[in-house]
Structure 1
Amino acid sequence: MDVKPGEDPQSMPTGTESPRPEPTQSKPTGEADPDPQEEYVEAIDSARKSLFEGSLTHSGLTDAELKSGTTYKFVVTVSGDWRLNADGSKGASVPAGGDIGVKLQCSGENSSCKALSTERQPVLKRTDQATWRWEVSPQKEGRLKLSLRVTAYFRDSDSVLVEQSPFRRTVRVVAVPEDSGGEGFEWIGGIWNGIVKFASELGIILSVIVTVPAAILALKARGRSSA
């Protein structure tokens, strides 16, 4: 390769040089990747702010005393707007506007609260409402404590947005006397005794009706034979 006077041989193309790489662009100073934890916290905060005030109403278990060995129905409704209880009292304030879970907790001597509904149900709008049902069965006399736990969840996860206990109640459970089960059927025994007595008397009457004509016929037959 001919080099002209004043030219640098190292700056001259050789024909075998590889193309120079493009310069990389670095991120502006101070800019970092998004933090997943921070995004999650922001989503939780936004979901919590989107909740609104709903109401919880209930029916059943209104008696001052419950009887042991008896099953009672207990029904709870969570609405996006305000509702009244069956007795006309105002419903309790609970969160709405998301996935709502309602759980009945009971503690007492051999008592059980059997859930008949799914624990979590959506109450997304003010026009929405969801209903939960249980069977409450106290088995022994004493005291039965009932409490409701209402939880608003973040979407379909187990992350809790808000949790409240709007209902607590303690009721007395009384024992049912052992002979009380038969008291209601005493009238049946009285009717049956009357039927038996009537049948016996009717049998005697029928027996007399049949016997008297037979005796008369026998006497007539005997008189003819003697003649």
Structure 2
Amino acid sequence: MMVRYSDAGDDPYRVVTRTWAELSKAAKAALDPIRKPAERALMCPLDLTPEWVSDQGLATDQAAQVTDVLREIFFYAAQVRRPAPLPNPAEVAWEALRSAIRAQGISTIGLTKVSSLAIENCMAPSDLTLDWTSKAAAQMDTPKRTAFAIQLRKLDNLLGTPDLTTMLYAEPISALPDLRKHGKIEPPADIIAAVDDITATHRRAKSTCNEARGLCVRFGQQQPRT
């Protein structure tokens, strides 16, 4: 009488039979030889042990079939019960910043050029420093470095937005060092000699000769380096 009027969720037998009923058709068919004994013993599929199965006196082929299906059920249950990985705090912080920027009506296109690298290094937006961005940029080729710098400048421009200041770093981070090579590039000696010959032939003043040499040097600086 108590079982009849109790909540179905509190009735152990109903809990067990419901669990068996929720199995797939294929699993039900394979486990049919042991289902009734298991239900009478108030055992769900995950409660069964190899020892219990062997005690049921199954034929060899039935025992093998039951064991294989139970193994699949245990494997699936282990996957389902596996705890979800904890979210990366840096990734959470960047997603929060992205949402806050959008709330200001500002586009976040291109933000991943900074956030992806920062997340890889477990850095939230508030953790960024000029030292880190400079070292990161030094490892990039020119196009990637340029895109990276553009996004850094966009982030720097947000430092004055009250709703975003607590989510960002304190000091600007976009003043990356110029890695381009500088210096005087002399044009070939034969060109310099030819210019000197021309100016000498026309008896030009020394200042004119120097100016002509300067034009050669500037022309050389503008040529692509090989």
TM-score range, shorter chain: under 0.3
Choose between structure 1 and 2: higher helix proportion.
2
| TM-score (norm: length of structure 2) | 0.18
Choose between structure 1 and 2: higher strand proportion.
1
Q: Which has the larger radius of gyration?
A: 1
| TM-score (norm: length of structure 1) | 0.18
Structure with more relative contact order (C-alpha pairs < 8 Å, separation 6 or more): 1
